[in-house]
Chain A
């Protein structure tokens, strides 16, 4: 292992499984899937589709911000607690922020927009409240503004909008920033609530499953939207932030675009293969070191078959793989972070949950069965894949 890894000293996670990493892992091992028709968006066509909605207590301090950014703050405070850090502990160090999102920066302002279309330039000041909320709620900027107001030095703030790989990119680049910059601590993660606009958009693409998603299953019917957030607090091994917590390590990261199609991955997984190679190289690891793969596994044909091709070509059949989206739904910009946190917890636990939603393997592959039951992990290195709209592929190497 190289010595450039980042140590994760705090985590916060929120999905339809609840919040807290221990709670999340316990629920997965118990096979709990909190999915059903949306409680927030009713009527046609929404009622027909399974989604994975998160619940979290409202914090009056952030009530004026978007749901995405409220979830981000919820996980930020959970991560701070898990790291046994207080805001005051951050005041004499420098803290980098990288947050991945999709919904968090989407101009999801249909209320304001419909008024604009109706009223045109006779628009009133109070009609722009939705836009003002949008401006206040850019996830990374809002978190940095909060910390700056508390006297924390924030040398860089990145709001990463690489669609569904955003949360992976935030962690991977955050771990590199610890090595390459002077910052002492990095707060990285992802957050995405799901909105009616996004929900309707995915339904219109005809790639949403009416049942809870069934990644890698022969009868899969597409993805199920979820919502959630995840935060990891990382320090470089040599830095002097005092905490004895250790949730895992970010050992390596690789990313590569397919330059193939705007919404589908290259069928041969060209970009994913490069991203895996780069990630393992940066970690000083080989394919033989991989104990398991947390695949992207959306339950769409294009995604699942691409990943199966790459897994079959590149890894021995003994390497177990799974998708955790059968438990959480696809949390979009948060997915990479949520799955990295789950994977580190799996490594620590030594056990993988079964791949929820899977029952029958896809034809045509030698190694096509994800975990069907709780499975023992042999090793201490895991890969987490994220494939995104735009053909982006990003991979994290995670360790203990």
Chain B
């Protein structure tokens, strides 16, 4: 396969940005709260422009802005043939629950049209495209723990076929109280004991991808594999790094989030050096199939 180059990265995590995430990883910290602050979006847009944006979209947009301003690639404008892929485990869950609230509060006759329209899964991606002014292919993939793997495979397809030559892969998931409650019950009730204590979290990241291997790139995705290993016992919706010393679960860094594979890739890029030439990032789905990508310098 042609390698996919990760040219720029932006992230919004409970720790802060991409650098803060890596710092937390290197200092072997564990998150205590999974919430993300998006107030720094004001550095990129007037508050008025984003005031109606939902939290999920704000996280995705902020990650995209950080990626587009990543110092490694700042002077490289987006290609006229750019495209946006949006990967999410649950989609705009917050707006969906607001819509359900409006049904419960006002009945079937008077639900909120705004909450309904913004609960549609592709609206966050469309909103980001509108805000960034990008008339381009825009696609959303919503499939729980396999969303990031799917979006990376789709990015490969877009790049190889010429649908886009410069892909912004944006991924986000948000904390909602209903899903948090359900997640705890699932963790406690369905034998996923090792994840019982994992903090439910939220966040977003953006990878700028192309087929061109730049010396400045963070790394390359060199292979995709299905079921390279059996899902470890108790492992459900996180991701693992398969490093030289075996598997390492990083969910104490980024928490319990369906797009965990993406955060493992972010952490993986920081580990690539002469001594660590290859990292395997593995995610497990709801049916215990594993999905793996290989990261190389």
Contact = CB atoms under 8 A, between A and B. Distances in A.
Interface stretch (A7-15, A134-142, A364-372, A376-384): A134-142
Interface in A101-159: 102, 105-107, 109-110, 112-114, 116-117, 120-121, 123-125, 127-128, 131-132, 135-136, 138, 140-141, 144-145, 148, 153-159
B135 A200 contact: no
A99 B126 CA distance: 20
B153 to A, nearest CB: 5
Nearest to A45: B109
A127 to B, nearest CB: 8
Contact of B126 (A120, A135, A154, A262): A262
Max chain B CB contacts within 10 Å: which of A155, A158, A197? A158
B277 to A, nearest CB: 25
B287 A205 contact: no
B54 to A, nearest CB: 11
Contacts of B91: 105-107, 161
Interface residues of A, number: 75
Contact of A262 (B118, B133, B182, B226): B118
Interface residues of B, number: 64
A102 B109 contact: no
A153 to B, nearest CB: 8
A177 interface: yes
Given A114-B104, A204-B111, A106 B119 contact: yes
Interface stretch (B3-11, B25-33, B136-144, B248-256): B136-144
B178 interface: yes
Contacts of A390: 120, 122-123, 125-127, 129, 138
A58 interface: no
Contacts of A141: 143-144, 146, 285-287
A326 B83 CA distance: 33
A318 to B, nearest CB: 30
Interface stretch (B34-42, B68-76, B156-164, B197-205): B156-164
B103 A125 contact: no
A172 to B, nearest CB: 9
Contact of A131 (B150, B163, B182, B287): B182
Contacts of A138: 142-144, 286
A390 B161 CA distance: 24
A179 B113 CA distance: 41
Interface of A is mostly: helix
B185 A173 contact: no
Contacts of A173: 154, 157
Contacts of B135: 256-259, 270-271, 274
Given A161-B140, A201-B111, A176 B134 contact: no
A391 B139 CA distance: 11
Given A105-B121, A159-B150, A161-B121, A110 B104 contact: yes
A107 B96 contact: yes
Given A113-B178, A116-B181, A257-B134, A180 B160 contact: yes
Given A140-B143, A262-B130, A274-B135, A106 B121 contact: yes
Given A123-B181, A390-B125, A201 B117 contact: yes
A256 B129 CA distance: 11
27 contacts: A43-B108, A105-B91, A105-B121, A107-B90, A110-B100, A116-B181, A127-B185, A141-B143, A141-B285, A162-B138, A163-B120, A177-B157, A181-B157, A200-B109, A202-B116, A256-B136, A257-B126, A257-B129, A259-B126, A259-B132, A259-B134, A262-B126, A274-B135, A388-B122, A389-B120, A390-B129, A392-B138
Interface of B: 84, 90-91, 93, 96-97, 99-100, 103-104, 108-113, 116-123, 125-127, 129-130, 132-144, 146, 150, 153-154, 157, 160-161, 163, 177-179, 181-182, 185-186, 189, 224, 226, 285-287, 289
